[in-house]
Amino acid sequence: MNLTAKSVCTIENGTSTTTIEKLILLAQFFEVSTDCLLGLKDEP
């Protein structure tokens, strides 16, 4: 993914954004939906 732990942290706390492509890769890595990562759903 080419993301550092710090990059993921800044995305999580809202101080940085990411691309759609990286959002999809994060969802696949954590085995959750993109809706879950975006806070639109509570369930993966």
Report, as an integer, the average pLDDT of 8-30.
Answer: 90
pTM for the model: 0.73
Comparing 40 with 44, the larger pLDDT belongs to: 40
For the chain, percent of residues with pLDDT exceeding 70: 98
For tokens 């696949």, what's the residue? 28
Q: Which residues of 30-42 are buried (b: 16+ CB within 10 A; e: fewer)?
A: eeeeeeebeeeee
